[in-house]
Every structure is written in structure tokens, then in C-alpha cells.
């Protein structure tokens, strides 16, 4: 297994190209199951998670080809669904596999998905996905660790879906099923995350009728007659925010080319309050430092609030901010696994339930640390970039799930970072 070695201390300066958003790409790819017409996705991010989704989609019968002159475009065509089962080995690797449930069910009348089970950042059930599909008429059984969903003989029918709690994935599954169900569907308390809006826009390009995109009420027409569609994937606000945190923690200045500034307001506001100087232009966000880092209080929440996917990276920055900071994690229980690793690098953090209190220290010290989940791993990279000495980060497969060409991008802005074979230590 590989590890990443980082010698900290250099301010990061230069330009980083932001990829298409992982969390937009995954549902967009799943949406190709809805139709026999081609769906072409530009700005496709080459990541562990998108590779896992491609592997799953290929098993289900999707043909995948590079499209156009740029290799970062993919054409996905599902002439016919070859299988309606998402196996344990794939779902276990990537929870977002559950996004094929809605499209498979509405296109083929049935779907079998392995239950995702527990996960490093909390229990993460899928009850909201299942309830929404049941509202559309699906009959759902749990059997042998699998969810088996069946549509009635006449297919799914439009309905009113009211989510008891906001869920990004459940909104996406409901939306994808609704565009092909018979008649209208109204989705209330829908997630407003920009990645959900990106999916809705692509579905519209594919021929669907959706009103209320970007709001918490989506009105979906159903019975879509699909046509070929091309869609450019939204920029990754979390990747952009992560590099912004890199500029801030090292006292450098990075131009984030292609960052979706409009979708990042909460993150940019928080970074500003901590000491970032931010300039916005139509296709880039430039993040530098305006002075010493200062403590802040932040709560994660559903969009447009501060995203849980930026919580760990912000915490790394706050480790070096003067005063006492406080972060409340409202979305996922057990999403503070990076704390014990940051503490090993000299941070002073105390967790009480859903809240973490961070007392700023003057410096962090390099240490061997272990990545525990995708965003937690990036918080360790950030801490290592600022720390004195060489840090070794193990279990980097977590990073590879969601950050493309991380070492190359960081090297280009001056970081001393390399991937190496692990030396046998565990
Ligand atoms: C998506 C993102 C993930 C992000 C999260 C919250 C993708 C591929 N992943 O995950 O990066 O951290 O949104 O912004 O887009 N819940 C239930 N029952 C359900 C579904 C969810 O109780 O059926 C709970 C979850 O445990 C969690 C909360 O709802 O506490 C929000 O989860 P959700 O918005 O569904 O996250 P994901 O779609 O899994």
C-alpha cells in the first residue's frame, strides 16, 4: 500500500485547476441508466469513486466511451439494462452506488442493491431513499442483506414525496425515478445542494420537465421522452475549498481555476472570517492570507450552510488560529476521526458530542498519521503542509477516492509531497 510523504513549511503559490465535482458526477453517471440515448459528460473527474461507479455501470449494461477531443469527456449509453443488481463488493467500496436504485427501478421495473451497511462517518441509513421510492409505488423488501425493489405492473407513478429530513442522495434517487414515472411528482424538503441542481439541469437537457431547480420543492413532469444530451459537470466546490484551505494554512496564495464561486459562499465567508483574502473573478477564485489566522465558530448544515465535507479541512486550519474555535457537526455523527491524528501533530482539540473545541497552537509538528475517510485525509495533508518536518500519511486510498492528481496539483504550487511505497509499518 502507498503512503504520502509531505515536508511542510512552504507557502503554496500558483494556480490549481479544479475538476468536475465528484458528488455531481456520481448521480449524473447513474442517470445514464434512465435512457437508451447517449449522455455525454464533460469535465469528468478521474477519481477512485468515479472509477467504482463506471465499474458498476458497466456491469449493469452501460457502454462507456471517451467523447470528443478532450479525454475528460465520457459518453454513456445504456441500450438495454443487462443486470439490475448492484453487488455487495461494489456497494461496500462506494456507498453512492445506491444512486443506481431509482434509475434501475424505473427503467427496468426492478432493482436489487446490497445494503451499504455501516460506514466510517456514522451509520448512514438509506431509509429516506426507500420511502421516497415507495411513495412512487415501489414495493420494497429486505432480503439477505439486499434491498429488492419492484415497480407495480404499470410502472412507478408520480406522487407527492415529502422528505422528513434533507438528504442529498435520496433527493437525487427520487428525482431520477420521478422523471420516468407516470405523471407528476412533487418533491418537498428536497436537498438544495448545487450538485442536486446540476443533476436536475442535466435531466432537463435529457428531456425532463423539472421546475424549482435549486429550491426545496421540485415539480417533476414524468413520462420523459429522452433525447441525447451533453452536460458539463459543475466544478468541485469541496476540492476548491480544500486547496483554498491549503493557501490559508501555509500563508500562500492560490488561484482556483474553474472553482464554482457561487456554490461556495458559506465556505468562502468562513475562510474570510479566519483570515483569508479572497478575490472573485468569473472563472476563478483567488485565496490568500490577510494576516494572522483567527479563531471562529462554525456549524455544519445542509446547503447553503457550511458543508460537512469541508469540516475536517477547516479544523486543520483552525489548529493554527489564535484563540479558541468551535465546530459543531450537525450532519454526520462520528465525523471527528481526524481529531486524534491532528492531536498527534500537536493540535489541541477536545470533542464533546457533536462539538469540537480547538485551541490554536503556534505550530504543528510532523508525525506519521493515518487517513480514516476522504475529507479527514485531506485535513491531515493540510496539517502536514503547515507542519515542521516530514509527515507520512498512510491509507491514502481514501484520498484517491475524491482528489484527482493530488500530488501533482500540490507540487505545482510548491509543496514538497511525494507518494511512496509503505515501509512495512502499520
Ligand atoms: C452526500 C455527499 C456527501 C456529503 C453529504 C452531506 C454524495 C455522493 N455524497 O452524501 O459527500 O457529505 O451528501 O452533504 O453526494 N440519512 C438518513 N437516511 C437516508 C439518507 C440519509 O438518515 O436514507 C441521513 C444521513 O445519515 C446523514 C444525513 O441524512 O446524517 C444527510 O445525508 P445525505 O444528505 O443523504 O448524504 P449522502 O447523500 O449520503
Where does the pLDDT of residue 68 fall: very low under 50, low under 70, confident under 90, or very high at 90 and above? low
Where does the pLDDT of residue 119 fall: very low under 50, low under 70, confident under 90, or very high at 90 and above? low
For residue 303, is pLDDT > 50?
yes
Q: How many A from CA of 115 to the centre of ligand 1?
A: 15
Q: How many A from CA of 356 to the centre of ligand 1?
A: 21
Q: Which of 100, 168, 197, 241, when mutated, tests ligand 1's pocket best, judged by the most ligand atoms within 8 Å of its CB? A: 168
Q: Is the separation of the CB atoms in 105 and 151 below 8 Å?
A: yes
Query: Residue 162 phi/psi, 5° resolution?
Result: -120, 110
- Which residue CA neighbors atom 21 of ligand 1 most closely? 167
Q: From CA 33, how far away is CA 220, in angstroms rounded?
A: 18
Active centre residues (catalytic): 119
Q: Which atom of ligand 1 is nearest to the CA of 332?
A: 30
Q: Which tops the pLDDT comparison, 40 or 116? A: 40
- Which residue CA neighbors atom 5 of ligand 1 most closely? 168
Predicted pLDDT at 66: 86
Q: From CA 239, how far away is CA 243, in angstroms rounded?
A: 6
User: Which residues partner with 162 through β-bridges?
Assistant: 188
Compute how many other C-beta atoms are within 10 angstroms of the C-beta atom of residue 382.
30
Predicted pLDDT at 397: 87
**22-232 architecture in CATH?**
Alpha-beta prism (3.65)
Please tell me if the CB atom of residue 169 comes closer than 6 angstroms to any atom of ligand 1: yes
Please tell me if the CB atom of residue 96 comes closer than 6 angstroms to any atom of ligand 1: yes
pLDDT tens per residue, range 324-367: 999 999 999 889 999 999 999 999 999 999 999 999 999 999 99
Q: Is the separation of the CB atoms in 102 and 137 below 8 Å?
A: no
pLDDT tens per residue, range 168-221: 999 999 999 999 999 999 999 999 999 999 999 999 999 999 999 999 999 999
DSSP code per residue over 122-139: B----HHHHHHHHHTT-E
Q: What is the mean pLDDT of residues 111-127?
A: 76
Q: Which tops the pLDDT comparison, 99 or 426? A: 99
Please tell me if the CB atom of residue 130 comes closer than 6 angstroms to any atom of ligand 1: no
Please tell me if the CB atom of residue 244 comes closer than 6 angstroms to any atom of ligand 1: no
Share of the chain above pLDDT 90, in %: 87
Q: What is the mean pLDDT of residues 296-318?
A: 98
User: Which residues partner with 64 through β-bridges?
Assistant: 76
Q: How many A from CA of 169 to the centre of ligand 1?
A: 6
Predicted pLDDT at 426: 41
Q: Which atom of ligand 1 is nearest to the CA of 169?
A: 38
Q: How many A from CA of 96 to the centre of ligand 1?
A: 9
Please tell me if the CB atom of residue 168 comes closer than 6 angstroms to any atom of ligand 1: yes
Query: What is the CATH class of 2-19+235-421?
Result: alpha beta
For residue 83, is pLDDT > 90?
yes
Q: Which atom of ligand 1 is nearest to the CA of 333?
A: 30
Query: Residue 205 phi/psi, 5° resolution?
Result: -60, -30
Please tell me if the CB atom of residue 333 comes closer than 6 angstroms to any atom of ligand 1: no
Angle at 354 between CA 351 and CA 356, to 5 degrees: 35
Q: From CA 331, how far away is CA 313, in angstroms rounded?
A: 16
User: Which residues partner with 365 through β-bridges?
Assistant: 388
Where does the pLDDT of residue 425 fall: very low under 50, low under 70, confident under 90, or very high at 90 and above? very low
Q: Which of 23, 169, 267, when mutated, tests ligand 1's pocket best, judged by the most ligand atoms within 8 Å of its CB? A: 169
Compute how many other C-beta atoms are within 10 angstroms of the C-beta atom of residue 273.
13
- Which residue CA neighbors atom 32 of ligand 1 most closely? 167
Q: Provide the grid cell at 109.
A: 421495473
Q: Which atom of ligand 1 is nearest to the CA of 131?
A: 23
Ordered alpha helix ranges (H), 264-371: 265-274, 311-318, 338-344
Q: How many A from CA of 234 to the centre of ligand 1?
A: 19
What is the enclosing helix (H) or strand (E) of 175?
Answer: helix 168-178
Predicted pLDDT at 194: 98
Q: How many A from CA of 66 to the centre of ligand 1?
A: 30
pLDDT tens per residue, range 147-156: 999 999 999 9
Average pLDDT over the chain, rounded to an integer: 94
2-19+235-421 shares its CATH topology with 22-232: yes
Q: Which tops the pLDDT comparison, 306 or 72? A: 306
Q: Which tops the pLDDT comparison, 286 or 95? A: 286
Q: What is the mean pLDDT of residues 403-418?
A: 97
DSSP code per residue over 205-217: HTT--EESTTSSE
Q: Which residue has the cell 484551505?
A: 245
pTM of the model: 0.96
Domain extents in the chain: 2-19+235-421, 22-232
Predicted pLDDT at 199: 98
For residue 121, is pLDDT > 60?
no
Q: Which atom of ligand 1 is nearest to the CA of 124?
A: 26
Q: Which atom of ligand 1 is nearest to the CA of 23?
A: 15
Compute how many other C-beta atoms are within 10 angstroms of the C-beta atom of residue 152.
12
Where does the pLDDT of residue 1 fall: very low under 50, low under 70, confident under 90, or very high at 90 and above? confident
Q: How many A from CA of 336 to the centre of ligand 1?
A: 16
Q: What is the mean pLDDT of residues 159-171?
A: 98
Amino acid at each position: 500500500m502507498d503512503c504520502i510523504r509531505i515536508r511542510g513549511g512552504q507557502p503554496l503559490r500558483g494556480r490549481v485547476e479544479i475538476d468536475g465535482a465528484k458528488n455531481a458526477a456520481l448521480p449524473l453517471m447513474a442517470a445514464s441508466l434512465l435512457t437508451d440515448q447517449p449522455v455525454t459528460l464533460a469535465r469528468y473527474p478521474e477519481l477512485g469513486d468515479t472509477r467504482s461507479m463506471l465499474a458498476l455501470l458497466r456491469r449493469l449494461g452501460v457502454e462507456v466511451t471517451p467523447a470528443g477531443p478532450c479525454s475528460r469527456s465520457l459518453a454513456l449509453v445504456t441500450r438495454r439494462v443487462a443486470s439490475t443488481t448492484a453487488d455487495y463488493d461494489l456497494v461496500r467500496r462506494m456507498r453512492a452506488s445506491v444512486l443506481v436504485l431509482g434509475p434501475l427501478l424505473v427503467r427496468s421495473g426492478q432493482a436489487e442493491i446490497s445494503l451499504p451497511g455501516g460506514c466510517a462517518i456514522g451509520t448512514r441509513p438509506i431509509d429516506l431513499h426507500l420511502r421516497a421510492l415507495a411513495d412512487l409505488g415501489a414495493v420494497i423488501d429486505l432480503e439477505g442483506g439486499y434491498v429488492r425493489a419492484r415497480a407495480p405492473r404499470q410502472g412507478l407513478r408520480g406522487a407527492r414525496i415529502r422528505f422528513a429530513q434533507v438528504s442529498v442522495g435520496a433527493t437525487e434517487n427520487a428525482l431520477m425515478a420521478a422523471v420516468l414515472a407516470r405523471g407528476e411528482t412533487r418533491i418537498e424538503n428536497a436537498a438544495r445542494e448545487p450538485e442536486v441542481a446540476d443533476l436536475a439541469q442535466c435531466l432537463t437537457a435529457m428531456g425532463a420537465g423539472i421546475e424549482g431547480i435549486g429550491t426545496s420543492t421540485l415539480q417533476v413532469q414524468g413520462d420523459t421522452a429522452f433525447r441525447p444530451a451533453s452536460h458539463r459537470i459543475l466544478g468541485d466546490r469541496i476540492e476548491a475549498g480544500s486547496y483554498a484551505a491549503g493557501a490559508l494554512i501555509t500563508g500562500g496564495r492560490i488561484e482556483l481555476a474553474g472553482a464554482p464561486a457561487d456554490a461556495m459562499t458559506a465556505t468562502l465567508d468562513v475562510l474570510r472570517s479566519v483570515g483569508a483574502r479572497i478575490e472573485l473573478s468569473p472563472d476563478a477564485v483567488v485565496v490568500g492570507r490577510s494576516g494572522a489566522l483567527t479563531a471562529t465558530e462554525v456549524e455544519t448544515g445542509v446547503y447553503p450552510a457550511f458543508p460537512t465535507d469541508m469540516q475536517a479541512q477547516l479544523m486543520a486550519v483552525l489548529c493554527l488560529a489564535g484563540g479558541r474555535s468551535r465546530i459543531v457537526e450537525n450532519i454526520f455523527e462520528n465525523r471527528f476521526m481526524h481529531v486524534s491524528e491532528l492531536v498527534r501533530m500537536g493540535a489541541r482539540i477536545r470533542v464533546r458530542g457533536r462539538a469540537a473545541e480547538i485551541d490554536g497552537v503556534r505550530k504543528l509538528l510532523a508525525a506519521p498519521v493515518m487517513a480514516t475517510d476522504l475529507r479527514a485525509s485531506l485535513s491531515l495533508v493540510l496539517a502536514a503542509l503547515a507542519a515542521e518536518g516530514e509527515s507520512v500519511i498512510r491509507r491514502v486510498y481514501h484520498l484517491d477516492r475524491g482528489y484527482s492528481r493530488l500530488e501533482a496539483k500540490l507540487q505545482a504550487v510548491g509543496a514538497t509531497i511525494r507518494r511512496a511505497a509503505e515501509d512495512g509499518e502499520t
